[in-house]
Amino acid sequence: MSHIVHRREIKGETDATVRQGLIENPERKPTPFGKGGSESVASLAPTWNRCAPTDYRCYPNAAQRRILARTFGATRYVYNWALRMRTDASYERQERIYYKGCSACLTQLKKQPETLWLNEISSVPAQQALRHLDTAFRTFFAGRTAYPSFKRKHGQQSAEYTVSGFRFADGRLTLAKMDSPLKIRWSRPLPNGAKPSTATVSRDSAGRYFVSLRVTDDIHPLPKSDAVVGIDLGIASLVTLSTGEKVGNPRHRNSDAKRQRKAQQSLSRKQKGSKGREKARLRLARVEARIADRRRDFTDKLTTRLVRENQTICCESLRVKTMVRNHTLAKQISDAGWGNWYGNSTTKRRGTDGRSSPLIAAIRVASGVRTAATSFPRFLSTFGTGCVPSAVPGMTGM
């Protein structure tokens, strides 16, 4: 591959011209990517602050689980109630209700006899649910997401607390309406002197509890490197690097396939709405959570290694949602976890874990010709580089 060219014209100039402009003029802003918008090369500082959540496993006692169950239910009820109110106002009266209007209506809702139980929980998670709904509507009207949907009773539940809804001191987190702090497994320490701005408690479908603390941390980028690598995702070999290295497919589902199949059969035989069905659902959820944890751990470790060793990473942009329609390979594709590679690599590239400035170039494969796909901005970023490499070793046909 001698150069990277994309043949789609944009406003009379090809993407190659745009990229050449980035090389000649590093001050020019690159193409926006993902949800973070555009970032210029000139804005890259040796050290910058990052406000990101840090997840930990927590083990609430019986009393705390009851409080959290009521909080999850009230948060879900408020979110669905506000969504229904805003939808009806839009379709029936052609009106738009925003956060302030929903907050005023929530105050009146808590005074009604049939919803007095909303006063038993902290008001902070309910207000945060309204803010999350307002954000969902804003992204919908901006054309970035689909219309907000109602939250379900089953599945993952969460509640977010701001600084007024919890107390954090000496490594002990105490939520509103709780008399004792949560028992948290500190798998890694928080930054020195960090003060969480929000605390989000969640419960997954397997019944496990997690707490996510959003803190501000200083990011020190790794030194620049000339290493460039191309990635080809597959099934027989999960990852094939342009250096010739091949990473085998662990096939995480195979070790628990028999246990998963028995759990699914047991669930299908249980009567809907019975306690036995709920127990069978939890058994199946725990098996699937164990499989997902192994897959996530493997992907995290491998992407961390690639980001730390290379300045530039090129990977193909696969439309996984379309590819899984092939019923012959759907299970193998889903078990490989191709879709996690883009998110993990991009997040770690932007400073979450590892090098801060390698280029993630999305490569599209069409009719046997590989072209650089700037039409996939979620997978393309020039954050901190300002240019694209002239060649990626081991990749031809560009």
303 — pLDDT class (breaks 50, 70, 90): confident
The answer on 232 and 147 residing in a single domain is no
Calculate mean pLDDT across residues 252-258: 88
Calculate mean pLDDT across residues 168-177: 91
**H or E segment and range at residue 184:** strand 184-185
Cβ atoms of 148 and 133 closer than 8 Å: yes
Distance CA 347, CA 273 (A): 41
Our measurement of the distance from residue 4's CA atom to the centroid of its chain's CA atoms, rounded to an integer in Å, reads 29
Catalogue the E-assigned strands of 6-142: 9-10, 13-14, 48-58
- Structural domain that includes position 184: 54-219
**284 within domain boundaries:** no
Q: Is the pLDDT of residue 349 over 80?
A: no
Average model confidence (pLDDT) for the chain? Answer: 76
The answer on 183 and 232 residing in a single domain is no
The answer on 60 and 14 residing in a single domain is no
Q: Say what the pLDDT of residue 346 is.
A: 63
Q: Is the pLDDT of residue 133 over 80?
A: yes
The answer on 17 and 73 residing in a single domain is no
The answer on 32 and 73 residing in a single domain is no
Structural domains of the chain, count: 2
Q: What are the tokens at 316?
A: 């193909």
Pairing of strands 228-233, 312-316: parallel
Q: Is the pLDDT of residue 306 over 90?
A: no
Distance CA 303, CA 204 (A): 25
Q: Angle at Cα 294 formed by Cα 290 and Cα 295, nearest 5°? A: 115
The answer on 101 and 39 residing in a single domain is no
Angle between helix 99-109 and helix 62-92 axes, rounded to 10 deg: 120
The answer on 241 and 168 residing in a single domain is no
The pTM (predicted TM-score) of the whole model is 0.72
The answer on 245 and 139 residing in a single domain is no
| 259-271 confidence digits (pLDDT tens) | 999 999 999 999 9
Our measurement of the distance from residue 101's CA atom to the centroid of its chain's CA atoms, rounded to an integer in Å, reads 30
Distance CA 257, CA 281 (A): 16
347 — pLDDT class (breaks 50, 70, 90): low
Cβ atoms of 313 and 306 closer than 8 Å: yes
Contacts of 159 (CB under 8 A, 6+ apart): 68, 71, 72, 75, 125, 128, 200, 201, 202
Per-residue CA distances from 213 to 77, 126, 189, 202, 245 (Å): 24, 18, 12, 12, 38
| 292-302 confidence digits (pLDDT tens) | 999 888 888 88
The answer on 197 and 163 residing in a single domain is yes
121 in the Ramachandran plot: left (φ > 0), alpha (ψ -120 to 50) or beta? beta
The answer on 339 and 203 residing in a single domain is no
